[in-house]
Amino acid sequence: MSWSQHLAPMILTIVLWWGSTGIIAMLVGRAPKTYPRLIILSSLLGLAGLATLFALREITSLSSAFASLIAALAVWGWIEVTFLTGKITGPSVARPAVDTALLARASAAFTAILWHELLIAATVLLVAVALIDQANDLGLRVLLLLWLMRSSAKLNLFLGVRNLGEAFLPAHLHHLLDFMRQRRMNPLLPLSILLGLAIAAWFGMAALSADTVHHAAASTILATLALLAAFEHLLMVLPLPAEALWRWSLSNRRTSP
């Protein structure tokens, strides 16, 4: 496989990552009265994504790899919309005191997003039941990678980073900032970045040694996603606002519920 055969999957993954993040941020930044339609639309896209993943599980081609990526991101986008609109988050939790013990803070933070975490777990389990041991399991791998690196990001926000990404949180979710800390660095962050880079290297080598177009494209997609995840973690500590990459999507951000 030549480098040119990896370029298209790489570019598609980057464009979808950047574009889908911005579109969701823009739509969630609109008035709450638009949320019912947004949830219906995202749910339909999520269901279509699930159906596509199930339909492509035995098809291995370049187009099936691209379609599986788009379908998996549609499913993940639905999960994100239900969370960012405040419809599926977690039980109400009292604001932790400054001197609250670490484990107590962690328990409260997890409780505050409990339903969201359960939704992710249930969705990934459903996809796993349908795709595991199938010829085309790219959709499952994408969801697992997104879940892993998003969980890592949440842990780093809890432990403390320079940039909390407040601009991406709608006003009705600002209470979650109580469970985050602003500090220059935490011990987990370098390990998280190394994890993302290691996963990227693993799939990158698999892409270069692939013997089929589908395998090459799938591995390239996963390597690119892992590299982007490492980049997102790096943005948490760089002395510049991560929001700059999506400034176009945050202009309508509301400042009050």
Q: What pLDDT, in 10s, does the model give residues 36-59?
A: 999 999 999 999 999 999 999 999
Whole-structure pTM value: 0.94
What does the domain layout of the chain look like in residue ranges?
4-249
What is residue 135's predicted lDDT score, i.e. its pLDDT? Answer: 96
pLDDT at 82 over 80: yes
Q: Could you tell me the pLDDT band of residue 145, with boundaries at 50, 70 and 90?
A: very high
- Would you say residue 118 has pLDDT above 90? yes
Residue with the larger pLDDT of the pair 231 and 241? 231
172 by Cβ neighbours in 10 Å (0-12 / 13-18 / 19+) ranks as middle
Tell me which long-range contacts 76-79 makes (C-beta under 8 A, separation of at least 24): 76/142, 76/143, 76/146, 77/20, 77/24, 77/42, 77/45, 77/46, 78/42, 78/43, 78/45, 78/46, 78/49, 79/46, 79/116, 79/119, 79/120, 79/123
Closest CA to 227 of 27, 17, 79: 17
The answer to whether the beta carbons of residues 106 and 154 sit under 8 Å apart is no
